[in-house]
Structure 1
Amino acid sequence: MKFILEVTMDDAALAKDPAGELGRILRYWGGNLRHYALRPGDGSVIYDSEYREVGRWSVAGQAV
């Protein structure tokens, strides 16, 4: 399996404070990790602190 987290960093809040905003996204996502099955095909949209869509995460491949 492969976990993919993709964030566009050239827009709005991420352009102003990339390290701070990416850290916030990772903390938020990590805090909610237990709510996901993390099986192939799972995924969701990622939002910045202003609730704009800036990317997505997904799980690809076959479960072992």
Structure 2
Amino acid sequence: MKFLLEVTMDDAALARDPAGELGRILRYWGGNLHHYPLRPGDGSVICDSEYREVGRWRVADQTK
């Protein structure tokens, strides 16, 4: 399996403070991962501090 996290960094809060926003995203999602079984197909959208969708994370089968 692979854990994939993709974030678009050229918009709004991420463009203003990339390190701060990425740090917040990683802390938030890292703290919530226990809510997921982390099997292929699991995933969710990622929002910035202004609640705008800026990416997704997902668990993928290694063969895909």
Question: Quick check: TM above 0.5?
Answer: yes
Residue of structure 2 equivalent to 1:51: 51
Q: Which structure 1 residue ranges, 5 or more long, are not aligned?
A: none
Q: Which runs of 4+ in 1 moved over 3 A?
A: none
CA distance in 2, matches of 1:17, 1:27: 15
Report the count of equivalent residues. Answer: 62
Residue of structure 1 equivalent to 2:42: 42
Aligned sequence identity (%) = 89
TM-score, structure 2 normalization: 0.94
TM-score, structure 1 normalization: 0.94
Paired letter, 1:45: V
Residue of structure 1 equivalent to 2:14: 14
